[in-house]
Each structure stands twice: as C-alpha cells, then as structure tokens.
Amino acid sequence: MFSRKSINTEDPFRLLIALLLVVLPSVLAAGSGKQNDAQCYCKLTSLYNKNGWTIPGLEGSNAESKRALYRTADGERQVSVTKMKPGSKPGHITWLHCAAQSEATEVQIIDAEGMDLWAFDIEGRVFAYGVTVGWLGPPDSIGHRVHVGTVSDLLFYDTDGSGRFVLMTYTKVPFAPEVPEWASRKDSAK
C-alpha cells in the first residue's frame, strides 16, 4: 500500500538525506568533467506531511452530486465517490520539479485554487480527496487573483483513519485512489 517514493517533509534529517541521495549523483557527475545533459534523477510522486495537508477547495465545499458507487480495479472493494463544489478560499500546494538549467529537484509552494474536488469514501469514511487545482498568479493592485493557465491533479490520503490527510500524491484524472486498509475494516470509526 502506498509504495510510491515519498519524502517526509516534517523530518529535517530524513529530508536532508533524501535530497543528498537525489543531488549527489548530479554533483559527482558534474565534478567528473563528463558532459551531462540536465535531467532530474528523482521521480517523486508523493509527499508526506505528518500534520496533514490543507486541501485546496475543501474548506467551504459542499456536495455537487449524489454519491456514486464503483468497484476498485481489483474488484474487491466498493467505493463511493461524491463530486464536490470547491470552496472559494485559495490555498497552496507543494510542487516538485526539475530546476531550470540544473539537475537538482526544486521545491516550490504554489498558490492554488480548487477547481474540481472529489471525495472518496467507504461506508461514509472518507479516505481520499481528489482535487484539480488551478495555479494562481500574484494579486493585482486591488487584490484579484487570476489563474496562470496551469493545473495540477492531486490525491490527498488519510492513511490511518485519523482524519488527517497526510499523503499528497501527484496524479492525473480520472482519479483512481488506492484504498487504505483501515477504510475497508468494519471496525474503523467514522
């Protein structure tokens, strides 16, 4: 479950080690005098935040459709999904990408607005939110924000049933979240 490579951004020591493992091959290659095309060596797909992520568009959201049922790809679980109308309050996301003209991975905090929001649950226990966020430019002189033409699709997971959505995963739509073990147990609290 959740076997994607991820970094715990709350533990500075582990973050430093992970970044060294990502950057060290690039530094060694650059120091060897060999010609090397700029490329990122890491393929991070998830970020972990032990305090939980703030999900853009979740605050002030409400159901836009009735819950619909579908079966997971393995056919073992029946999951409910609800299309939500995102709240209007802007949020932010953490974006990892290859730095321009470099082999390093760059971490940026991007102001974003929830455009599409989906809640995934089993018997009323929400285990994931899928969100398409539109990136926002800086406020103009009167405070208005505009989309800069870029969107990201993300899944936020409650990995242990605590109600904190601690795992953010980069994905594409249609959302197809993995179901954590706790969400399938009959004894898990609502």
Helix, strand or coil, per DSSP, at residue 134 = strand
Residue pair 130/123 in contact by the 8 Å Cβ criterion: no
Number of other residues whose CB lies within 10 A of the CB of residue 63: 11
What stretches of 29-146 adopt beta strand conformation (E)?
46-48, 62-63, 68-71, 78-85, 91-98, 105-122, 125-136
Q: Quick one: which H or E segment has residue 17?
A: helix 12-31
Q: pLDDT digits over 101-116, tens only?
A: 777 778 888 889 899 9
Cis peptide before 138 (omega within 30 of 0): no
186 - beta bridge partners? none
The CA-based diameter of the chain, rounded to the nearest angstrom, is 61
Q: pLDDT digits over 54-63, tens only?
A: 999 999 999 9
Domain ranges across the chain: 6-184
Q: pLDDT digits over 114-148, tens only?
A: 999 999 999 999 999 999 999 988 888 888 888 78
Number of other residues whose CB lies within 10 A of the CB of residue 90: 16
